[in-house]
Structure 1
Amino acid sequence: MAAISGSNAGPATLLKGGSESGSTSEGDNPPSDVTVDNVSGGGSTEREDTVERGPLVSIGTSADKKSRNKKKKNLYSKKNSKTKNSLIKIKALNKTTQNLKTFSISKDAVLFLKSVLVTRVMPSFYILLFLISLPLNALALVTFTCKIKEKKPAVIYMSNLACVDLLFTLLLPLKIHYHLNGSDWVFGEVACRVLSAAFYCYMYCSILLMMCMSVDRLLAVVFPIVSLTWRTTRNSVYVCALAWMLALIGTVPLLLITQTLNIKDLGITCHDALRHNDPADQTYMILFSVLSCLYFFLPLVITLVCYSSIIYALSVKSGRLATSSSSSSSNQRRRAVIMTIATMLEFVVCFAATNAILLYHCVVLVTGGTRGEGNASYMAYMLAVCAGSSSVFLDPLLYYYGSSQCRQQIRSVLRRKKTKRDTKLSNTTEVGIQTESC
């Protein structure tokens, strides 16, 4: 969260590779793939000579040649102006950091952002997450989309959740580089906005999908027959599309507000500093407070109610079957209760601390709290974000591989690989025996 506020400390400094000299920009010269004809000196161009030698084209007068040269000059000037405008539009956002003034933050904040905890421990944890979650989520996504042919609502929800976790995992190298580089962002304003928006999109979309899965499980357990008309594949696809849309809408403010600031004694920060007196940033804080309430605390209440009802219903059913001989059904319900409790704990542990600290931090900034309070709350928030990111590998373990369908598909894939390996070994052995007999 853009949280460590800074005061103006002087004129803007140039970034690496920058220059104060008034060198000619790329847009002043024609692009390399455009050939500019020589129109000076009244001489004919090479292209004109070729045209004049053509058998089907009549040779014009000198006035016609001048007219054609003038048209070509205007044409190339228009192309050059269009090229200039396109280059300016493409590079405008990435060059905004060079035009920013240098800001100063407290020494404690600088020391924290350059500390071993932020520059070594946190990126090491993110590297571990990347190495574990990438194959787990990739395998889960392939299993749900390609291997499981019967697309039940639970499969639709879990495949979307695997897609969210995989997309966030693929962006972790940018965050890892940022922390290893001493909290100095080198990829430009656009990449910073995309990374910041991607994190909140991952968090909000995961929360909404988990809430939908809890409601779907509640309907399947408590109302198994009545809910058959509601729990359809088409309805689950619509619900997932709505969750994606709401998560993307929630990240729009991050794409519209500048996320990089040039901080004295630190470098270019990405989403780690915020100007207190900027009205746009104040509106941003208020909006994030509302989003935190709508996208976390409301789904949290719904999820807790659903899972509590599921645990109660499964416990009652297990108690009724305790005197019967159906021990297998009782064991299945007991495992379902354990999985439900573990899933609920994962939801609370990974996202509750992050959103609670984020809400408190936004309130402190909006109400004009002291700099020490803002810095302390943001430091706690960064640690909570790091710990909460562990959901990218907890989701596969609890949701995907806790599913009987997913386990069966993975076992079948492993069995096929083992069968192919055994077949190759047997064929090799047979060939060796035949060779020896010969």
Structure 2
Amino acid sequence: MDNSSFFIYCNSGDFKIPIYTAFYIVTFLVGFISNTVALYVFLCLLPRNSPSCIFMTNLAISDLLFTLTLPMRITYFLRRGEWIFGDPLCGISIFAFYVNMYSSILFLTAVSISRYVAILRPMDVKRIFNWRRCVIISLAIWALVSSSSSPFLLAKSYHSNGTIRCLEPQNQTYLGRVLIMNYTGLVIGFALPFIVITVCCIRIICQLQGLKTQLAGARTPRGRTMALVSMVFVVFLVCFFPYHVVRTVHLHYAASFRHDCALTIMMQKFVVVSLCLAASNSCFNPILYYFAGTGFRHALRESLRRSRIVSSRKSVENSIFEASPGAESPVFGDPQEGQKIQVPLQQLSNS
């Protein structure tokens, strides 16, 4: 839940509003820019036939779609908890959060499994994770996550103390159903993928122990694989583990109907912090792309280098045109005698 407040008189608004506002602004700026750049690299600069590239492309799409909903959350908390976008967008905003979180978990799991197969069964990786199969897996992940999160599309805004609210539960009427959804997400959406990633990470590390000599002083493909899986493991621990633990504890506390205001506010503060960590995965994933894949780094650096060269050539061209208005290219000699020597701009820029 975005900030479960089951007791109307025990509300952590003074804590959560500035935290959510600042966090969502930073996440929107960093996440939108970094994931847009990542998609450009994946779609335009890299071959799209490797399993990791296909899964990471889908991961970047998920993160970018989530960041596009953040302006509504920012506006909501800037207005101190007043929703102005209507019922459909209220449901879409909550739906986008859960789709992003669980699709990220499953795509990161798919990346880890593909790397595991590449290390332990390198001769079979192209057969097991061919392009068609990777696309089918990606579509299955989108279908599973979207269908399981679809009940959140029915979420509506509501009136509370003269203010239209969203992004927080209205009452405890549906707490039993929420607990069922929580345990479904906890087991299928987090625990099982976390176990798979942990096993993959341990097996890959064990497999690479015999390759220390080759790995020493050089970042081989196997070394990059270990770095990639290790970073995925860290993202799980930092972003997803705290949220699922805190959410489960908080829901059970709410179901106990205890009327301890201080404890309720403390639990709400933990929910706020853990939710921010969960949503921050949209900013951590581009870091994973950059540091765990030399292909991504090389493509991005090469693109930046080419853009600098093009910019430099344009500045040279503009300076020449300003010095010789109306000239199509730099000309040396006496035009009146018909002796025109046209020098390519590329030669000028390299001289």
Same fold (TM over 0.5): yes
Give the AA of the match of 1:328. Answer: A
Could you say which residue in structure 1 is the equivalent of 2:248?
A: 359
What is the TM-score with the length of structure 2 in the denominator? 0.83
CA gap 1:119/1:374 in 2 versus in 1, 3 angstroms? closer
Could you say which residue in structure 1 is the equivalent of 2:183?
A: 289
Q: Is the 8 A contact 1:3 1:374 kept in 2?
A: no
2:238 to 345, 349, 355: 349
1:121-163 Cα distance to aligned partner (Å, 9 max, x none): 3211211121112111001112212222342111100100000
CA gap 1:144/1:200 in 2 versus in 1, 3 angstroms? same
Give the AA of the match of 2:70. Answer: L
C-alpha distance in 2, partners of 1:174/1:309?
A: 43
Give the AA of the match of 1:267. Answer: T
Give the AA of the match of 1:195. Answer: S
Q: Is the 8 A contact 2:119 2:222 kept in 1?
A: no
Q: Is the 8 A contact 2:69 2:93 kept in 1?
A: yes
Give the AA of the match of 1:270. Answer: C
Between Structure 1 and Structure 2, whose CA radius of gyration is higher?
A: 1
With 147-156 and 128-137 compared, the bigger mean Cα shift is at 147-156
C-alpha distance in 2, partners of 1:153/1:335?
A: 15
Q: Is the 8 A contact 1:289 1:362 kept in 2?
A: no
CA gap 1:375/1:242 in 2 versus in 1, 3 angstroms? farther
2:218 is paired with a residue whose SS is: helix
- Whether 1:399 aligns to 2:289 is yes
C-alpha distance in 2, partners of 1:192/1:380?
A: 23
Q: Is the 8 A contact 1:119 1:181 kept in 2?
A: no
C-alpha distance in 2, partners of 1:420/1:229?
A: 41
Q: Is the 8 A contact 1:286 1:362 kept in 2?
A: no
Give the AA of the match of 1:3. Answer: S
With 341-350 and 214-223 compared, the bigger mean Cα shift is at 341-350
Give the AA of the match of 1:160. Answer: N
C-alpha distance in 1, partners of 2:41/2:185?
A: 33
C-alpha distance in 2, partners of 1:194/1:223?
A: 41
The number of equivalent residue pairs is: 326
1:294-330 Cα distance to aligned partner (Å, 9 max, x none): 11111111111112222222233225x47xxx8536x
C-alpha distance in 2, partners of 1:251/1:363?
A: 21
- Whether 1:245 aligns to 2:246 is no
C-alpha distance in 1, partners of 2:264/2:188?
A: 23
2:20 to 87, 112, 122: 122
Q: What root-mean-square deviation, in Å, do the aligned CA atoms of Structure 1 and Structure 2 show? A: 2.6
C-alpha distance in 2, partners of 1:437/1:371?
A: 91
CA gap 1:308/1:342 in 2 versus in 1, 3 angstroms? same
Could you say which residue in structure 1 is the equivalent of 2:62?
A: 164
C-alpha distance in 2, partners of 1:273/1:375?
A: 15
Matches within 5 A, 1:23-422: 105-106=8-9, 108-109=10-11, 112-113=12-13, 115=14, 117-256=15-154, 258-264=155-161, 267-276=163-172, 278=173, 280-319=174-213, 321=214, 327-328=217-218, 333-334=222-223, 336-370=225-259, 372=261, 375-400=265-290, 402-422=292-312
Q: Is the 8 A contact 2:42 2:48 kept in 1?
A: no
**Deviation of the 1:377 alpha carbon:** 2.7
Could you say which residue in structure 2 is the equivalent of 1:46?
A: none
With 159-168 and 186-195 compared, the bigger mean Cα shift is at 186-195
Q: Is the 8 A contact 1:221 1:310 kept in 2?
A: yes
C-alpha distance in 2, partners of 1:427/1:274?
A: 63
C-alpha distance in 1, partners of 2:278/2:233?
A: 14
2:164 is paired with a residue whose SS is: strand
**Deviation of the 1:362 alpha carbon:** 2.5
1:274 is paired with a residue whose SS is: coil
C-alpha distance in 2, partners of 1:148/1:366?
A: 50
What is the TM-score with the length of structure 1 in the denominator? 0.68
1:393-434 Cα distance to aligned partner (Å, 9 max, x none): 110011255322212221222222122223234445656486
C-alpha distance in 2, partners of 1:394/1:3?
A: 25
